[in-house]
């Protein structure tokens, strides 16, 4: 969020928790529910799903779920999911990144070596976020849809907190063309 927008808030100290609204309307378009397949190649390579990378027709709603998974992973891990770990030689290569995206080849780095019982100290917030990432960074037939994400306990809990805080109507949070 640009600093100017932060300064335009009536009272930024009013909010109990940090709040970010994530949108990308630069490439938005109305989707025909009868034929939601798109063919335009667009977007940042790090955030595009395999089907778009390989030039296949795609459903923009599914690509949004994929991009959400990439973004949430980056917030949680401090790196992009398809970048090689820092200890892997060779540096970053577009070809290697594209290859990993096409194969849906990613893993948790910060959480990788933790046995399941040690994930508990990360709290349900971390585990809930991880479940969403794992559901979004899947091949398109297995990928979570926005309506699926909206029903996940981690999201429902956050929506309930927003409702109690009177920040915005819950009906404005999720919009899905299904």
How many domains does the chain divide into?
1
- The residue ranking higher by pLDDT, 8 or 110, is 110
The domain of 133 spans 37-168
In the block, which residue shows the tokens 């990928």? 143
Domain assignment present for 89: yes
The per-residue pLDDT for 84 is 76
**Predicted confidence (pLDDT) per residue in 154-170, tens digit:** 888 877 776 666 555 55
Domain assignment present for 70: yes
Q: In the chain, what is the straight-line distance between the N-terminal and C-terminal CA atoms, in Å?
A: 29
Contacts of residue 175, Cβ cutoff 8 Å, sequence gap at least 6? 146
**Predicted confidence (pLDDT) per residue in 13-41, tens digit:** 555 556 666 655 445 556 667 766 655 66
Domain assignment present for 177: no
Domain assignment present for 157: yes
- DSSP assignment of the chain equals --HHHHHTSS-GGG-SS--------TT-----TT--EE----S-GGG--HHHHTT--EEHHHHHHHHHHHHHHHHHHSS-TTSPPTTSTT---HHHHHHHHHTT----STTTT--HHHHGGGHHHHHHHHHHHHHHSS-TTTPPPHHHHHTSHHHHHHHHHHHHHTSS-GGGT-----
Domain assignment present for 24: no
Domain assignment present for 27: no
Domain assignment present for 13: no
Q: Which of 57, 79, 52, 54 is nearest to 133 (CA)?
A: 79
Q: What is the pTM of this model?
A: 0.69
**Predicted confidence (pLDDT) per residue in 99-141, tens digit:** 999 999 999 887 665 555 555 556 677 889 999 999 999 999 9
Write the CATH number for 52. Answer: 1.10.510.10
The per-residue pLDDT for 133 is 96
């Amino acid at each position: 969020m640009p600093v100017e927008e932060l300064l335009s808030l009536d009272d930024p100290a009013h909010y109990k928790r940090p709040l970010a609204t994530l949108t990308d309307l630069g490439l938005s378009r109305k989707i025909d529910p009868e034929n939601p397949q798109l063919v335009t190649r667009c977007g940042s390579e790090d955030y595009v799903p395999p089907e778009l990378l390989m030039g296949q027709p795609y459903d923009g709603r599914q690509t949004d779920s994929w991009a959400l998974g990439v973004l949430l992973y980056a917030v949680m891990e401090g790196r992009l999911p398809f970048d090689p770990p820092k200890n892997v030689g060779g540096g970053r290569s577009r070809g290697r990144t594209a290859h990993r995206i096409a194969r849906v080849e990613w893993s948790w780095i910060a959480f990788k070596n933790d046995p399941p019982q040690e994930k508990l100290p990360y709290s349900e917030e971390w585990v809930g976020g991880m479940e969403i990432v794992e559901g979004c960074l899947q091949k398109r037939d297995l990928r979570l849809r926005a309506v699926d994400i909206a029903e996940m306990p981690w999201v429902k809990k956050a929506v309930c907190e927003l409702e109690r805080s009177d920040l915005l109507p819950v009906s404005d949070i999720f919009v899905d063309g299904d």
